[in-house]
Structure 1
Amino acid sequence: MQTDFLVIGSGIAGLTYALKVAQHCPEKRITIITKAAADETNTKYAQGGVAVVNDLENDSFEKHIEDTLIAGDGLCNKEVVEIVVKEGPARINEIIEWGAQFDKDPEGEYRLGKEGGHSEFRILHHKDVTGREMERALLEAIKKAPNISLLNHLFVIDIITQHHLGYLVTKSTPDICCYGVYVLNSQTSRIEKIVSNTTLLATGGNGQVYRTTTNPSIATGDGVAMVYRAKGRIENMEFIQFHPTALYEAGKRGQAFLITEAVRGDGGILRNAAGEAFMERYDARKDLAPRDIVARAIDNEMKISGTENVYLDCRHMNMEKFKEHFPNIYEKCLSIGIDVAVQMIPVAPAAHYSCGGIKTDEWGRSSIKNLYACGECASTGLHGANRLASNSLLEAMVFAHRCYVDAVNTVNERSSLPEIPNWNATGTAEPKEMILITQSLKELQQVMSDYVGIVRNNVRLQRALKRIDLLFDETEGLYQTTTVSLQLLELRNMITVGYLITKGAGFRKESRGLHFNTDYPAKSELVQNIVL
């Protein structure tokens, strides 16, 4: 298959970019591919909302910029922060024009929420399913674009570069170029190639690397892993944000139900096993401190009490307003026997968001020519060492727009594509035992959760690297000798991402933002990004 613009991923970043390109270039073909159903993305599970300054009487760009810089703990790119905050309102207006609906009060004014780290009420939301509503509006608009093809169940194996043409490609090779991708069609089990002059990676996060995460099962770090294999630049992977309040269900692994930070913004109080409101002991902002502080505080309270969770107390809140603003949270809690009006919600931190990723410039360009990245898989410089709540959807829209602007302005400058060889599966056979894959995945998630979690130290990181190296060797052996499957490819990517997180954590000789190492509890004077 050949296409003019290839988009990998169907979350808010990929869909926004595709829609803009399609409208600007009606004669060009835009192809979106996704490894599952089109709406199964991290965007779909974003509950809280999108942060944007739209009330200049009570808020300002300067306040939003300052809040973002404080949360990022010295590692934000200030120029990028200003770009995202100031261009944000225009992008919000566009998605509203495309049909996204945000909650309003009886007077028709937008209801603005407040979350941890924000100095003002500036969070637009659609009940507690904001991401799903934005995704819905974008998919409806995509259906109306005749030059967009949206293909499901295609899993990208690797980016095609000069490496696949027989050339030696290393980190120091100048002008590494992306020509498209090899994909596994999971419905036919065939490996196909999609050739394109321009490719956008919008592949989302990597929460499945951990035992418990708020991310769906598709969040396996595929974009980051394939760029690293292609010798592209990856940055700041050690900064994994753990959402402080995922619903705790004893014995459950995998995706945990998210209790949005907006619940605390509306007055929810965190309490420990003894019923004490403990956040005042950790930060003057109490329950609305930034996520890294709240997650570490909960982790510490759990270790002190020897319990696996703390509680979110909503019993004092107006229940009619709670049901209106958080209907899905209310129903989910009821489904497991918790009435939030009379019982506290058991919560615990879960892997939530990757602040690092594919290193890009202010136009979303990666270090590989003709390859853009935006959304959670990218490291644009906005989040620094810790993402400010509800900045992710805003960043995705702003950088999708910037990737689109650069891509359409330079598309005619791109040289013709070389002849791309077909996938070579010579010498491979069907795998005999799936347990070799499933057990390795469990081991990886256990290692990452126990050794590279909220609190780290050098011994744990060294142990993690040794075990990840062993898992890498075993999995590469399988990859070289067996026909590829979705499970094997995802495992391979997650092992690479686990390695990058652990390696980045080992290089950072300080505690900053989301990375807390008990061997280096203070920040260093040298503020730097870790590029791998």
Structure 2
Amino acid sequence: MRRYLVDYNESFVIDQNFDVAIIGAGIAGLYTALMLPKDLKIVILSKKDIEDCDSYLAQGGIAASIKNDNRELHVKDTINAGCYVNDLDAVNVLINESQEAIDSLVELGVDFDRDSLGNFYRSLEGNHSMPRILHVHGDSTGKGIMDILIKNVKEASNITVITDIFAMDVVDSEKIYKGITAYHNDKFFYFNTKFCVVASGGIGQLFSKTTNVDILTGDGIAMALRAGVNLDNMEYIQFHPTAFYSKDVKDKLFLISEAVRGEGAVLRNINEERFMGEYDNRMELAPRDIVARAIKDQMDKTKTDYVYLDVTMYDKNFLKRRFNTIYSECKSQGIEMNKDYIPVTPAAHYFMGGIKVDLYGRTNIENFYAVGECACTGVHGANRLASNSLMEALVFGKRAAVDISCRMKQKKYLDYEDMNKIGIKTLFNGFKTEHMKIDFSVLKENLKNFMEDTAGIVRSVDKLKKVLDYINNVLYEIENCNFSDIYSMEVYNMYQVSGAIVTSILDSKASIGSNYVEEYSERSLVRQI
């Protein structure tokens, strides 16, 4: 496997102005930066504008056990949704430290929705046994939190945000982190920092149907993979059951939050028949993997591309107040939620696997961390419990920051050395200007379609083996080419991560939760509660 995306020459910039590099500017990256000591110089590398991330789009809310809540019940719900393969230590950390995370957000300025008595308004979502989901501005929780984090980051004198920068590779010496290579404003950079936190988000754009923004192509996971960082649970990909169906949206589908079903919305097939009772006695509030498979089964049976979400039991005023963002989007598509059924389809939404980390976000490369969706803490098991993801980003982002602070005080990091002295001979090479014979746009479209068909909601061993052969052949073809631009590098990352996902599915030889493989399944579309 190719070690670096580009090869060494003299035309690069070495930047030694920062202590910590954070790759990604979503909730995980920004919050981690704010939790680090104020005397550390931090650089946040954002692939696009700081608002271009999935965190900004998060609607449903944030699951938290606060005050006198039964934390054991939250643990039980989490591992039940995760098919009991969760890391129990990580689950306990997540839930026991959720109060601290909410308090921290409030202190930063996040204004959570409250009821008439001034208490936090909390709603119910799928597989939660009690209302524990906090919201900001109804269904704009991600935006509400992100706006506050961005404000605090901009006011922090020790934090610099660089936008439109493409992080490429991890540089290490004897499995100790040394720095990050990146491309920005037609120049190659080497950020020689003492620590790095990857918070690059998920992998939704590997599929033809996704709710993820266009930057989520698995870049952080690919760079970790090339550096020999351990990955875990790569077979676990959550497909959200209810994305707004549209023929016209190519890059991203609009998400219809789990919270809509939490408030009582029901699913109907194209014949307007309610169907979830056939699959699970929790009906529309069953775990997402079950609901997504049920919808796919109905679409296959009725030979349609969507089913309906029915929320017509509520009046217009309630829907506008509770789901203002969703109401507005549906209206722009000609759907009146209080009168019309909403056409929905499952779409790739959240990655439970990724870079393997411990309870402090540490990887097997010293001083190299991962937090958020690109990291695999083991919290989610085989299927994420709704709205646990934002809390995971906060709790483990804080833990990574605490660990970095301790290591900084103990001076457990490498000082800068000349790159040749640490054996790095292949870092940079200016992009080749000659015409490339490989059409990377075609490769990208092919991959997204193949992954949707083979590594999607229902998987088949024979199809997976064929697509793995295809991926390996493409990787062999482009392995030694000189990339013409950032786009070609991005596609290369997509193929590397897709290969790791398909390999993990085949190696698992199991069918559980979001990894539903026909040949390994004893039951058709259901599982024990």
1:431 & 1:251 partners in 2: Cα distance? 34
Note the C-alpha offset of 1:425. Answer: 4.9
Structure 1 counterpart SS, 2:348: strand
Select 2:65's aligned residue among 27, 40, 53.
Answer: 53
**Partner residue, 1:440:** 443
Deviations 1:200-241 (A, max 9, x none): 001100100000110000111111111111011000111000
**Partner residue, 1:131:** 142
**Partner residue, 1:394:** 391
Structure 1 counterpart SS, 2:109: coil
Residues 66, 98 of structure 2: 8 Å contact kept: no
**Partner residue, 1:149:** 160
Query: What's the TM-score, normalizing by structure 1?
Result: 0.92
User: Matches of residues 31-430 of structure 1 in structure 2 within 5 Å?
Assistant: 31-54=43-66, 56=68, 59-126=69-136, 127-162=138-173, 175-185=174-184, 188-411=185-408, 412-420=411-419, 425=428, 429-430=432-433
Deviations 1:287-344 (A, max 9, x none): 0001000000001000000000000001112321111111111111111111112110
Residues 76, 385 of structure 1: 8 Å contact kept: yes
**Partner residue, 2:460:** 457
Select 2:471's aligned residue among 465, 468, 472.
Answer: 468
Structure 1 counterpart SS, 2:66: coil
Q: CA RMSD in A?
A: 1.6
Structure 1 counterpart SS, 2:205: helix
1:239 & 1:7 partners in 2: Cα distance? 25
1:232 & 1:82 partners in 2: Cα distance? 25
Q: In the superposition, relative to structure 1, how do residues 387 and 434 fare at CA in structure 2: closer, same or farther (>3 Å)?
A: farther
Q: Which amino acid aligns with 1:69?
A: I
Note the C-alpha offset of 1:101. Answer: 1.5
2:194 & 2:41 partners in 1: Cα distance? 11
Q: Which amino acid aligns with 1:291?
A: R
Q: Which amino acid aligns with 1:289?
A: A
Q: In the superposition, relative to structure 1, how do residues 361 and 482 fare at CA in structure 2: closer, same or farther (>3 Å)?
A: closer
Moved more, 430-439 or 153-162: 430-439
Residues 268, 317 of structure 1: 8 Å contact kept: no
Does 2:493 align with 1:490? no
Residues 452, 464 of structure 1: 8 Å contact kept: no
1:78 & 1:522 partners in 2: Cα distance? 26
1:334 & 1:27 partners in 2: Cα distance? 48
Residues 240, 353 of structure 1: 8 Å contact kept: yes
Residues 188, 428 of structure 2: 8 Å contact kept: no
**Partner residue, 1:9:** 24
Q: Matched residue pairs, number?
A: 501
Q: Which amino acid aligns with 2:406?
A: N
Moved more, 36-45 or 259-268: 36-45
Note the C-alpha offset of 1:481. Answer: 2.4
Select 1:18's aligned residue among 25, 33, 36.
Answer: 33
1:482 & 1:217 partners in 2: Cα distance? 20
Over 4 Å off, 4+ runs: 421-428
Note the C-alpha offset of 1:434. Answer: 8.8
Structure 2 counterpart SS, 1:160: strand
Structure 1 counterpart SS, 2:20: strand
Structure 1 counterpart SS, 2:53: coil
Structure 2 counterpart SS, 1:161: strand
Structure 1 counterpart SS, 2:462: helix
Residues 98, 137 of structure 1: 8 Å contact kept: yes
Q: Which amino acid aligns with 1:464?
A: V
1:238 & 1:147 partners in 2: Cα distance? 38
Q: In the superposition, relative to structure 1, how do residues 458 and 337 fare at CA in structure 2: closer, same or farther (>3 Å)?
A: same
Moved more, 465-474 or 212-221: 465-474
Note the C-alpha offset of 1:28. Answer: 2.3
Gaps of 5+ in 1: 163-174, 524-532
Moved more, 124-133 or 393-402: 124-133
2:85 & 2:55 partners in 1: Cα distance? 25
Note the C-alpha offset of 1:404. Answer: 0.7
Deviations 1:418-464 (A, max 9, x none): 22369755586225259701100000001100111100011111111
1:492 & 1:512 partners in 2: Cα distance? 29
Q: Which amino acid aligns with 1:352?
A: H
Note the C-alpha offset of 1:55. Answer: 5.0
Note the C-alpha offset of 1:74. Answer: 2.0
Structure 1 counterpart SS, 2:373: coil
Structure 2 counterpart SS, 1:429: coil
**Partner residue, 1:170:** none
Q: In the superposition, relative to structure 1, how do residues 195 and 415 fare at CA in structure 2: closer, same or farther (>3 Å)?
A: closer
1:340 & 1:435 partners in 2: Cα distance? 46
Identical positions, percent: 38
Residues 50, 390 of structure 1: 8 Å contact kept: yes
Residues 193, 423 of structure 1: 8 Å contact kept: no
Does 2:522 align with 1:522? yes
